[in-house]
Amino acid sequence: MTTLKLRSVAAFALTALVLTPGLVSGGEPEAPKIEIRNARTPLPGVLSGGQVTQEQLAEAAAGGYRTVVSLRMPEELQEWDEPSAVEELGMRFVSLPIPGAEGINRENAEKLAAILDDQELRPMVLHCGSGNRIGALFALIAFHLEGKDAETALKVGQEAGLTRLEPVVREKLGLPPAEQEEKKDGP
């Protein structure tokens, strides 16, 4: 997207924000729904899911979002410069690169929790490629930082987008593989 196009989109976004009352009220900032892949609202003021497009970023800016947090590795998105596009739209870009299964650990869960705890960043769009890494880290946050039991933490992760990384998360939580769980409950 050219600089001129981004400026036009930013102007549109600011106009829409001014003309849309009540986007942010009282305590928790609201997160207007934007149609991103695998969209979820795991926390108030947090819209999570897969990779956002430039058009969705413009919608986010128009909707009053303050921050875009990416869990993608820098080499994952070569088509366009997301950090620059986000900043040109007047939002803050935060990068927490998670390299897939090897990045699903307590340290990265703590880093994401610190970002999520910063109310000044909300409302925020939180994304990775599909939402899977987000769900995996939400499960570890629930387990390690919120003291939830392993089964509950796994459900938190699934509700936040956990899919293909479930075996890794099960291992990190000390749960048996899903196949063993099914056999235990079956005939």
In the chain, what is the greatest distance between 2 CA atoms, to the nearest angstrom?
64
Say what percent of the chain tops pLDDT 90: 74
CA–CA separation, 112 and 90 (whole Å)? 22
List, in sequence order, every residue forming a beta bridge with 47; answer none if it has no partner. 125
Averaged over 58-75, what is the pLDDT?
96
The mean-pLDDT minimum among 4-18, 67-81, 151-165 falls in 4-18
How much is the pLDDT for 33? 77
φ, ψ dihedrals at 169, nearest 5°: -65, -40
Residue 30's pLDDT band (cuts 50, 70, 90): low
The token duo for 66 is 């303050």
How much is the pLDDT for 12? 41
111 versus 27: the higher-pLDDT residue is 111
Range 108-125 burial, b when 16+ CB lie within 10 A, else e:
bbeebbeebeeeebbbbb
Amino acid (1-letter code) at residue 156: V
List, in sequence order, every residue forming a beta bridge with 125; answer none if it has no partner. 47, 68
pTM recorded for the entire structure: 0.80
Averaged over 9-19, what is the pLDDT?
39
User: Which residues, other chains included, contact 72 with Cβ-Cβ below 8 Å and sequence gap of 6+?
Assistant: 51, 97, 98, 127, 128, 129
CA–CA separation, 61 and 118 (whole Å)? 19
